Amino acid sequence: MRKIAKHMAVAAFFMPLALALAGDETPTDIDSLFRGKEFQLPPLDSSYRVNYSEVPRAKNLGKEQEDAYTLQFDAIANFDAAQARRAKLLSQTGYNIQMIFDAPFYKLRGGYFKKKSEAEDKARELSLYNISAFAVKLK
């Protein structure tokens, strides 16, 4: 009995509030969806339309190929999440972070190092700032 009385008291308290909000005559986005109108997303901000340059490749020197390394920060399947993570990494590291689509992931890479030891040293340094990365050899 007490539970029912408690629920009735809570309902009596919130009922006037619900009725006051229901009396609002301005349509919402949900209302337009129910009438068959689709909600239109705002246009994409031009700052997201960035021309992605290629990741630097090692130069061919005849038979010997000079090694080059970069840091890979993340591999994310969702494009929007990858864009957000890219922006965060850009502000944290100062590197030009490249988004490389290698199905099904968007790989976030940045930095250019001639030696693997330099790339690994930088990855260790970034780990002090809670930024995880590992060295990747450029093809």
Check residues 86 and 16 and name the one with the higher pLDDT: 86
Residue 72 confidence (pLDDT): 92
pTM here is: 0.51
pLDDT of residue 70: 92
Residues 22 and 78 in one domain: no
* pLDDT score for 69: 92
61 versus 88: the higher-pLDDT residue is 88
Mean of pLDDT over the chain: 76
Domain with 16 in it: 2-34
108 within some domain: yes
Cα dihedral 9/13/14/19 (nearest 10): 120
49 within a domain of the structure (yes/no): no
Q: Find, among 137, 133, 138, 135, the residue nearest to 89 by Cα.
A: 133
pLDDT at 71: 92
For residues 85 and 131, membership in a common domain is answered with yes
* Domain assignment present for 103: yes
67 is written with which tokens? Answer: 């090694």
